[in-house]
Chain A
Amino acid sequence: MKIHFTFHPERCVGCGACVMACINKNSIDVAKQQPYRLLKRNEYGDGAALNITWFVHGCMHCSGHPCATACPKGCFAVDRETGLVHLNNTGCVGCRRCEKACPFEAIQLIGRRAEKCNGCAERLRRGQLPLCVQACPRQALTADEKNRVVSDGLAALQEEMAEFLRRQQKR
């Protein structure tokens, strides 16, 4: 089965369980790096018309994988069985082209090498969901084949994400 991640903004309540799961699953030291899932908040309107929405982003293991196309060193590979986009950063030269190419701001440089979510590949092999997906109590983050990244194409979710980031207030 090919795995892609999908985020459903209308279901997210901003609780942070996905991010907390990611931090602990990957033993991430938050003083030194970002988790592989990130939670952002936008506020629209005010008073009675106030609407607050949250957005979770990170590697969606999307079918377009612009990171792989952008990388001059061939660090990225699409897993034949799961469709997960794997990053082997042994050859990474820190050029940041993948970081710039990714519409989901999923790639970060740690030291001088690119790093990103590995899709909890070992959990998938055991028949378990990626931990961030498992952690969401409201199914706002899903991992399946029939997701929007595939059916609507990358562009739709990418546009939504871009719109969200545009709206991030300069506070």
Chain B
Amino acid sequence: MGIEIRKSICRICSRGCPIDVEMCGDAIGQITPSNPQTGGQLCALGYAYREYIERPDRIRTPLRRVGERGGGEWEPISWEEAYREIAERLLKLRADYGADTVAFYTGYTKWYRPVFQRFVHSFGTLNYGTESSACHQSYRMASELNFGALTMPDIRNSDLFIGWAYNPFFSGNSQGNPLKDFRERGGRVIIVDPKYTPAAKFADIHLRPDPGTDGALAHFFGNYLIEHGKTDADYIAAYVHGFPAYRRYVRQFTLEKTARLTNIPAETLLAAAEMIADSPVFSISISGAAIPHHRNGMQNCRAIQALLAITGNFDAEGGNLPVEYPVDSMNLKVEWDKFVDETRPLSEDGSGYQNSVAWHRRNPGFRTAGRRTCKPKIGSGRFPLWGQIVDEFQSMDLARQILEGTPYPVRAVFALGMNRRMFVENEKLMEALGKLDFFVDVDIFWTDAAKVADIVLPACTSVERAELVCTGPTVRYVSPVIKPLYQSKSDADILCELADVMELEDPLLRRGYEAVVRHVMMKIGLTFDELKSSGAATKIPGKVPYSPGSSLRLGLRTPTGKIELYSETIAGIPEEYGLNPLPTYRESLPRKGKAAYPLTLVAGSRISTRFHSRFHGVRSADHFRPAPSAELHPADAEALGIRQGDAIAISTTTGTIHVRAELTKAAKRGTVFMFQSYADEADVNRIIGRNHLDPYSGFPGYRSVRCRVEVEQAE
């Protein structure tokens, strides 16, 4: 008998690398990358995918809480019973208090999000929130405000590449990276990262600013380029709004001041500035997590992007190119956006995403007549800029709204994959969840949030379900490799089946995931049946490649149609919020507390063998880092009497965690790097204050927190 190989994708992270699953009868065996001969790769995590799928703490059956919430007593129930109870409770809450009294939330996995968001809209609210309240969206906001679109570095045509917190070796290592080839062709590289990572090996200059000072560093470069006549005056005159105000603002970022703010030697700053000035064509990659994870993170992203604007490197070959296009034939894709909008309600006060310029440019045919109205989504009052340009609620305000009941009470949460550990000062979240009338959590594993739910539903992994995968210009329909383990189901199936039991006014969603997929791919010129039978990634026919410069020519999706260094969107936010339309810099660390908390804690720094909390319980990951450990520079450790492996306490004004010391010079002196998502006593996000947030985006300032480190027990 030969070995049977079935094709699927890995969904530990969102990249969806194609995998070959070796079958042992009906069970899965070795998992390896598809097409290794043509460069197919997996990262370290992917090789442990089977272990992840078979984690011993998988939720096996729908369960109803018995006794106290969080008491750990459950009774198994059938799917029908679970759906019926959830439907009754949610519909009753809607009838009594309105749809907005339910908050719908999803954790990391992204593949089913459009289905979920449509479900939420069909239920009648805009209270759809995700973990993107702390990932990517802040970077997206910066891109929207400046350029009206996300961008990608066109590194193949650059003279210089600036990787701002760029470490493709620890995330997405399977997908190759361009640095080696780029360098061999003579390209120059600047890496900006307080930490030493493998990317530093490819750098001509590695700048190591103190965490969160990126905006100051960018403004220094901006000022240097202006002073040395290295900007593109014609481009600025034609396409940039607010340049004079920007020029005046950045003048204060002198060499001496920036060296002090960033803690980078002046000569290194100068060498980097000269290299940029000497490279007319450059592109920049900005980490969507590391750079925004500061209290000034969104503005720091804008400050970095401003360098592209003043040198003519946005929407030009070798610079950064928009990835959302002004012409329909360039945008040809599966119509998830439209699918989400079809049942969208409108915010009754006229606030929110659907009233933004970007929204209307993107959806010229969107009809407002005949739509239901609902309350402004959670967090809109506290983070109005987020509320206006992001199509999700700001979940960093969820616990507060549940506990305080303002501006209106939230009485229930329906969540998929809620990870407590992502939230700062997350005891507050647990307290809030404990106060709810009704809490449902769908998850693959027994997370802390699942443990306090009223009803828990078991979800399955990517090899156990069907999924429409959209990657760049291709689409692929992946069929299940095995039947769902235990009683688990696909998240998308759960949502469609629940919509049916609830009799939501959404006939399409009620028909199920396959009907939804057929609907969203109607316009791409491929049939569902051909995709399903081939199972292969298939190119969308007729998609026109982007030609650089056309976005600028046709007008950007910003209020002025130009690159906005002075953001008219921010200028429209009421003054009392104190938001500045220029990409201003302020320190991300709190002003006070340096004496008692002399070090800077960076929460969330990646390691290559874990991902969020997903590898807790995967035993092979323990080989690499057996105990939760904080990375410290040996010199800092010595001053504190700490040796490799010692038990240490890290304290902030919010609390203390207990971990091990991992000494490495990769950590910049004065900083402490800690991986996130560990359980209680090692959960670093627990000791970050719940108001340590970026006022523009609501993002937590995970990566610049004042802390103190003490030795507890020598190894």
Contact = CB atoms under 8 A, between A and B. Distances in A.
A24 B48 contact: yes
Contact of B609 (A16, A25, A128): A16
Contacts of B43: 15, 17, 137
Contacts of B44: 15-17, 19-20, 135
Contact of B623 (A30, A52, A137): A30
Contact of B622 (A31, A43, A50): A31
Given A14-B198, A15-B44, A35-B623, A171 B643 contact: yes
Contacts of B620: 20, 23-24, 28, 30
B174 interface: yes
A1 interface: no
A30 B196 contact: no
Contacts of B624: 16, 19, 39
A29 interface: yes
Interface in A130-150: 131, 134-135, 137
Contact of B666 (A28, A52, A128): A52
Contacts of A29: 619
A84 B32 CA distance: 23
Interface string B23-44: 0000000111100100001111
A75 interface: no
Contacts of A41: 664
Nearest to B171: A15
B608 A16 contact: yes
Contacts of B201: 13, 51
B173 A137 contact: yes
B448 to A, nearest CB: 24
A129 interface: yes
A152 interface: no
A164 B169 CA distance: 22
A24 B665 contact: no
B643 A21 contact: no
Nearest to A129: B36
Determine which residue in B47, B265, B268, B622 has the highest number of CB atoms from chain A within 10 A of its CB, and name it.
B47
A24 to B, nearest CB: 5
B476 to A, nearest CB: 22
B42 A135 contact: yes
A15 B47 contact: no
A48 B206 CA distance: 8
Q: For this complex, into which size category does the number of interface residues on chain A fall? A: 20 to 34
B51 interface: yes
B50 A24 contact: yes
A163 interface: no
Contact of B663 (A13, A25, A46, A171): A171
Interface in A18-71: 19-21, 23-25, 28-31, 35, 39, 41, 43, 46, 48, 50-52
A52 B196 contact: yes
A134 B643 contact: no
B44 to A, nearest CB: 4
B691 interface: no
Interface of B: 30-33, 36, 41-48, 50-51, 169-170, 173-174, 176, 196, 198, 200-201, 206, 265, 268, 608-609, 619-620, 622-624, 634, 643-644, 663-666
Nearest 3 CB-CB pairs, A to B? Answer: A13-B198, A171-B644, A30-B623
18 contacts: A13-B173, A15-B169, A15-B173, A16-B44, A17-B44, A20-B44, A20-B47, A23-B47, A23-B48, A24-B31, A43-B664, A43-B665, A46-B665, A50-B200, A134-B32, A135-B41, A137-B174, A171-B663
Given A19-B623, A52-B196, 18 more contacts: A15-B44, A15-B169, A15-B198, A17-B608, A20-B45, A20-B48, A20-B620, A23-B623, A24-B47, A31-B619, A52-B198, A129-B36, A134-B36, A135-B42, A135-B44, A171-B634, A171-B643, A171-B663
